Structure 1
């Protein structure tokens, strides 16, 4: 299963994956009224990219992570926060505690779950009036556009699953369908916050990020080596060894009815 691939790259995942922008974290804290009295459940925290800033609000936080190596790195990153408990479990089989949570949050991992099952389980963990927060991360047009156009040839050569002529979508073309939240019998008051940012990487930093994506990790070794070599040559010879990538984040929130 593709979502199992991340655990084998836990240290690289921690090193390379960008943390979430402060405006998103602050909007989440505002929407959930986070503070020392809050009980928070985070699903699929990875190595703590969102967990660490949330823990900074002083809340009691339980993080349920499928991968034991990812969880171990998360615990290391959260050693300064004694009110955080990182557990290794499959959320779909995890036993929900009797005391309900004020917030259930999942960041850049919701797509790995069956929506109906996830929403029902998240609702069972929340108190009435508690909040569900789903953070999405999209790769959108922007930054070093010429590189992202040119790299298509590398992917078409080395990854047979690549659609021909693929291009990054614009922000206007990118939006998560919130219908599953709006139709859910468990939730109401659905809101969406959106924010974009750009990050500049060196060649090595960019290739490191790619090696935290499930599709790249799942490639056969010869194809992965060929793809990375092709991208490295393109970056070094045509773009001065640097690339700027644009990300679009969404924060979808809903209230437990």
Structure 2
């Protein structure tokens, strides 16, 4: 999951929702973002839907819909999905693909009286205010509806982590971009904990649960370099680093044999809207 670095254009890592300029940077190349960003395990999509009251198709709100990656997965499973996205460039890309996406910050978005069976958010909830977001979700969920927010967390093998950490440490010594590769499997725990606390503090949900689905994919050199600019950290790098990065990362992948396996954990924090008395 993207975690903003300290200093510069980013606030401290415990308040990424304040980095609106970072949150709105992904729309610079929506086609690349949509093409290269990983999807989520079908088992997670099925479990969210199965754990949400309703018969057949559900009405789902996708927060931080981006180019519609999550929206399409739930729509393909037979559900009706409305997306909310702060970046008009991303939203426009999704709409060109036939998706229903409204533009605005979720915290101030007007649902116009609409309610939903589920509120979901893929790779986006850390950009949402941790207090306002869960309260807003509770307000648009039908009684018994489910809030499910989730991220793909990279879990690189030691040799992959060391190779990439060495590149970023040469170019950006001591930076989060370097440390993220050696942070280990618990790197996502603070974000999950903050998310659960925000949900819990509303008093409107059942006790949050954490679900995890492990999966993996093989990246070729070309595929990895193609997705490199979509990182939440990339836009904040100095221009000379952005220029050198593809060559150095490409060389690292070449040294790994021209491709590598990257393990992911799809981690979801989820809770059910308490039924109103």
| TM-score, scaled to structure 2 | 0.82
**1:25 lines up with 2:45 in the alignment:** yes
CA RMSD of aligned residues (A): 2.1
- Give the distance between the partners of 2:109 and 2:252, measured in 1 at CA: 45
Aligned counterpart, 1:150: 163
- 1:188-224 Cα distance to aligned partner (Å, 9 max, x none): 1422210111111111111122211120122122111
Farther-moved stretch of structure 1 (12-21 vs 37-46): 37-46
For residue 97 of structure 1, give the secondary structure of its aligned residue in structure 2: coil
Quote how far apart the aligned CAs of 1:235 are: 1.5
- Measure the CA separation in 2 of the matches of 1:164 and 1:122: 32
Indicate which of 154, 159, 171 corresponds to 2:185.
Answer: 171
Matched, 1:233 2:251: yes
Offset, 1:160 = 4.4
User: Aligned partners of 1:221, 1:204: CA distance in 2, in Å?
Assistant: 21
State the partner residue of 1:43: 63
1:92 is paired with a residue whose SS is helix
Q: Does 1:60 align with 2:80?
A: yes
Mapping for residues 53-92 of structure 1, pairs under 5 Å: 53-77=73-97, 79=98, 85-92=100-107
Q: Is the 8 A contact 1:17 1:209 kept in 2?
A: yes
Q: Are positions 1:7 and 2:33 aligned together? A: no
Structure 2, gaps ≥5 residues long: 1-20
- Following superposition, the deviation at residue 179 of structure 1 comes to 3.0
Q: 1:69 to 1:34 in 2, by over 3 A?
A: farther
For 1:246, the equivalent position in structure 2 comes to 263
SS at match of 1:187: coil
Q: Pick closer, same or farther for the CA change 1:43–1:200 going to 2, 3 Å.
A: same
TM-score normalised to the size of structure 1? 0.88
Measure how far apart 1:173 and its partner are.
6.3
| 1:16–1:208 contact (8 Å) kept in structure 2 | yes
| Counterpart among 224, 234, 238 of residue 220 in structure 1 | 238
Looking at structure 1, the residues matched to 76 and 55 of structure 2 have their Cα atoms a distance apart, in angstroms, of: 9
C-alpha distance after superposition, 1:100-133 (max 9, x if no partner): 2111111111111211011111111112221111
Separation in 2 of the partners of 1:42 and 1:163?
Answer: 29
> Within 2, Cα distance between the matches of 1:122 and 1:30?
19
Unaligned regions of 5+ residues in structure 1, if any? Answer: none
Q: Answer 1 or 2: which has greater helix percent.
A: 2
Describe the shift of the 1:70–1:183 C-alpha distance in structure 2 as closer, same or farther (beyond 3 A): same
Deviation at 1:97, TM superposition (A): 2.2
Aligned length in residues? 249
Match for residue 12 of structure 2?
none
* Contact 2:168-2:177 at 8 Å conserved across structures: no
Answer 1 or 2: which has greater strand percent: 1
